[in-house]
Structure 1
């Protein structure tokens, strides 16, 4: 057997695998002998069927099967030995007049090769690393929300300022049908808010979406419309009132503090504000980190220049699915996937060059932290190590969960690497300003 490679260009090559009769004959003969031992053909005793008959009946199929097995194993070994970094899979070059009756065979395969490129994490950029601060307005809103949440709910017949009004926004044309709880004060103008005062259950209030809120993005939450639709949206929506409640606010006392954070952790309103601020800014930091990771990813994709074996990849896309694609369909698929492929190559290089590896201890520690946070959300502030370890063991026994969590751990490692190496301007913002920045406004 002989394997040779012709380098077409930097991104394409053709490998030729030459197989002689001596390479495959012993294996073919062995399989034929096994067939003969077990063949049951009328007129012959088992194991006594003439080899010529076995050869005539099964020879060609066995030959093709064994040559293909030898071909695949040899090609795979060659790619490993030569350390060829290929994209997709080798594509066989079809030969219309291929002759299986010959003694020796030659098979050609097209290869798409991964490009060589450099990644410069320290390159100049206009990236921003946001630091989101919880301002006084947000803290006061959170205090009021907590007091309402732990207060006493009282049902009412007629709405007043400050009441919670539960109902459904609808607009048939836009397919809007979303049930929410509102207060008249959430609207941008007092005129709109007054429309909801003095109403009863079953009443319908019609409002225009134009300037309904101080920020059009709130339409996404209250009406469940997409970001693309919120700007300039000018339609009427009906709000059908289903429930009216007022809340006798809970007192800001030690009993409430202990319910929120455990006995004795918080002992004053000022400490409560500090705790709310700390928890909020931790959550904000996670969102800011995700934006930074996304922004660095986009920057690397746009600024790391390299060519791809596009024509090879389009041909490969035609063959890779369950159903073959036309050239036009493959062109469309390639256009959709090119950006993702570029980032996969960039990500792989970043991981390799910086030796980013995931150990079992990394995975276990990350999973434990996730579980503790989830338990805290349900009021279990101080779970025992044994309880957490038992849950971690169950989670990590699921392969799908291990895969998902491993991706999150690697994402965290990439984020930390970018924070250390990518120079970006730090900018302090409120959460509302961050939302505007996030959507490019």
Structure 2
């Protein structure tokens, strides 16, 4: 067997594999002899079928199978030994006049080669790193939400601003009849609110679905309709009020503080505000980190330029799905996936050049931390090490979970590396300012 390579350019190559008769003859003969021993053909005793008949019936199928196995093994070994960084998979070239009746065979494969490039993290236009802080408005809103959540419900006959109403939405033509409960503060605009203020239990309120709620998803939920329909629906509905409730705010006292955070951990409204800011900061870090990673990804793709074997990749994309794609479909698919491929190559370069790795001990520790976070959400704040190890072992016995957690951990390591090696334009913002900034 002989393997040669012709480099077309820096990104494309053709590998030729020549297979001679002596490469496959012994394996094919051995398999056919085994067939002969076990063949059941009428008119012949088992094991005494003429070899010529066995070759005629099975010879070419065995030959094709064995040559293809040898071909695949040889090609994989060659790519590994030559340390060729290929994109996609080798594509066999069509051959005219190929004949399995010959003794020697030649196969050619197109290769798409990964480009060579350097990663420079010193960007002229630095990425913005948002530091989100909880402002006084957010803290006060959170306190009010806590007071509502732990306050008492008072049933009323007449609705006022801030109340919660229960009842049934109806529209026969649109086939809507849905029981719903919502806060009047969720309504959009004074016009809708005023229709409820002063209304009594048993009253019917006529409403327009368009711009009924501040969030259209509240319309979807309260009317029990599909997401797309909620965005398009513009019709009249009636709401028959069955119940009006006012939630009395809970007192900000030691009993409430202990219920929220444990006995004696928070002793005043000032400490409550500090605790809310602290908890909010932890949640904000996750969101700002995710946005930072997204922005770094976009900026690196934008700044690190290299060519790709575009035509090869489009041809390869045509072959990898459940059904072949047309040339136009392959071009569209390539255009949709090009940015992802570019970052995949950049990320691989950063990981390899800086020896960022995930070993089993890292993964076990990472898994344990995720388990502790989840258990804390359900009030289990001090699990034993044995309990953590047992749960981790069960999770890490699942290969899909290992893959998912390994990707999460590598993502964390990459972000840590970027934070340590890149310059950022740091900006302190409130959560509202953050949402506006990333929505632009």
- Using the size of structure 2 for normalisation, the TM-score is 0.89
Shift of 1:432: 0.8
Inter-partner Cα distance in structure 1 for 2:172 and 2:132:
38
CA contact (8 A) 1:89 1:111 kept: yes
Corresponding residue for residue 259 of structure 1: 259
Contact 2:196 2:205 in 1 (8 A): no
8 A Cα contact 1:262 1:381, kept in partner: no
Rounded to whole Å, the distance in 2 between the matches of 1:105 and 1:399 is 40
Structure 1 residues 188-215: Cα deviation after superposition (integer angstroms, max 9, x where no partner): 75555333212246633536866975xx
Residues 380 and 61 of structure 1: CA distance in aligned 2, closer, same or farther (over 3 Å): same
Q: State the match for 2:407 in structure 1.
A: 407
Question: 1:56 aligns to what?
Answer: 56
* Distance in 1 (alpha carbons) for counterparts of 2:17 and 2:336: 34
> Does 2:436 align with 1:436?
yes
1:33-112 to structure 2, matched below 5 A, reads 33-112=33-112
Question: What CA deviation, in whole Å up to 9, does each residue of 1:80-101 have, x standing for no partner?
Answer: 0000011111111111210212
C-alpha distance in 2, partners of 1:173/1:297? 50
Q: Alpha carbon RMSD of aligned pairs, Å?
A: 3.1
CA distance, structure 2, for counterparts of residue 386 and residue 373 of structure 1: 16
How far off is 1:361 after superposition? 2.5
Residues 188/333 of structure 1: CA separation in 2 closer, same or farther (3 Å cut): closer
Aligned to 1:307: 307
C-alpha change, 1:372 and 1:24, in structure 2 (3 Å) is same
Cα distance in 1 for residues equivalent to 2:176 and 2:310? 43
2 CA distance for matches of 1:353 and 1:62? 45
| Cα distance between partner residues in 2 of 1:278 and 1:343 | 34
SS in 2 for 1:428: strand
Q: Does 1:245 align with 2:274?
A: no
Correspondence 1:344 to 2:348: no
Q: 1:14: which partner in 2?
A: 14
SS of 1:195's partner is: helix
C-alpha deviation, 1:186, in angstroms: 5.4
In 2, distance between residues paired with 1:242 and 1:423?
59
Q: Are the aligned partners of 1:358 and 1:410 in contact in 2 as well (CA < 8 Å)? A: yes
Match for residue 393 of structure 1? 393
* Superposition deviation, residue 220 in structure 1: 5.7
CA separation of 1:367 and 1:67: change in aligned 2, threshold 3 A: same
Give the C-alpha shift of residue 166 in structure 1.
Answer: 5.0
Q: How far apart are 1:155 and its partner, in Å?
A: 3.0
Q: Relative to structure 1, is the Cα distance of residues 243 and 401 closer, same or farther in structure 2, using a 3 angstrom cutoff?
A: farther
Aligned pairs for 1:274-289 (under 5 A) are 274-289=274-289
1:226 Cα deviation (Å)?
8.8
Cα 1:236–1:378, aligned 2, differ >3 Å: closer, same or farther? farther
Answer whether contact 2:12 2:111 (CA < 8 A) is retained. Answer: yes
Matched, 1:23 2:29: no
Give me the whole-angstrom Cα distance separating, in 2, the residues matched to 1:37 and 1:353: 56
Check conservation: 1:184, 1:194, Cα contact below 8 A: no
| TM-score in terms of structure 1 length | 0.89
Counterpart position of 1:148: 148
Deviations 1:234-288 (CA, angstroms, capped at 9, x unpaired): 9677583565321122222222112111222212221111111100111011111
In 2: Cα distance, 1:53 partner to 1:99 partner: 21
Q: Which residue of 2 aligns with 1:204?
A: 205
Q: 1:425 to 1:173 in 2, by over 3 A?
A: farther
Q: 1:313-392 counterparts in 2 under 5 A?
A: 313-392=313-392
* Partner Cα distance (1:301, 1:178) in 2: 49
Distance 1:267 1:381, change over 3 A: farther
- Please, which runs of 5 or more residues in structure 2 have no aligned partner? none
User: What are structure 1's unaligned runs of at least 5 residues?
Assistant: none
